[in-house]
Amino acid sequence: MTDKTLILTIGLTDEVDTNNEWVVHAEHELEKGCELYNLYKQNPEVEKASLSWKLNMHDPLIAKLIYQWEETIRKPHLKMVSTHHKEFHYNKDYLNMFLDLEHIPLMPVNNSVSITNKELVELDLTLNNNITWGALRINIDRIYDHNDAEYDSLHRQIDETHMNKKFAVKSYDVNSEKLLDIPLSFSFNLELSQMKRKVPVLTFQNLMHHQKIIFEENEQELIKLGYDKESYTKILTSEVIQVGEPVESSSVLYETFSKYPTVCRTSLTKEE
């Protein structure tokens, strides 16, 4: 599908499939409020509500991923759904919620979407707080985890330096040409929080306290490794790729997903 205006929709229900008629649940036990299952059969008959996102098809990477998303369902695959519905700490009547949709091919694919680590950090990335609440997204850490390259992330290296009090940053050149496969995994996060103002231009001052301290204490060493203040800031403020904008309001997103927590259908359609 190449149309510039595509809508991803998920059908939702509160019905539970205990007989694996249209979903297959994970065999291992999960935390309370968490679900993991393969939606192996679309079941619009039990659908009671739906949520939609307008996809960012003008972004070449997103367009490639959506095309691959469509191609995957024509061959043996899993349509994995992971959800969290957990009580909000300060008020148990509220929920923090999360959903991840992933298409996993079960046969080798010749045209998986891959980019180098250097190309990844040069994309239009931003902080979690800078995207619309409930937007469809790809978390950068999810890409590194998918490639068993979690410690190729500067985020993880800086966090390890902070926790272990030992400098643990690799040269940028070591990781820059590493080829990373992009998982067909889109998520949205409906986490309740005190809303913070978006920051259109991110600077060194927007970094977390420990990230700033580590740079200031190791500036010369970081510069030798290929990280000046500008590139260091750019990489550490690159947390997510926004895949799509929610069609519904934040209140509708919250009320719908809290009431109907199970995915029973997914679809891609052209915008009307």
pLDDT at 18 over 70: yes
Query: What does pLDDT average to over the chain?
Result: 91
Range from 19-28, 143-152, 192-201, 203-212 carrying the lowest mean pLDDT: 192-201
pLDDT at 1 over 60: no
Query: pLDDT at position 271, please?
Result: 80
Q: What percent of the chain has pLDDT over 70?
A: 96
Q: What is the mean pLDDT of residues 31-43?
A: 94
Among 24, 187, 25, residue whose Cα is nearest residue 97: 187
pLDDT at 149 over 90: no
Backbone angles phi, psi at 29, to 5 degrees: -75, 140
Q: What is the pTM of this model?
A: 0.89
| Unique residue bearing structure tokens 């996060």 | 189
CA distance 161 to 97: 31
DSSP string, 97-151: EEEEEEEEESS--S---EEEHHHHHTSS-B-GGGSPTT-EEEEHHHHHHHTT-GG
Confidence of residue 261 (pLDDT cuts 50, 70, 90): very high
pLDDT per position as a tens digit, 231-252 = 999 999 888 999 999 999 999 9
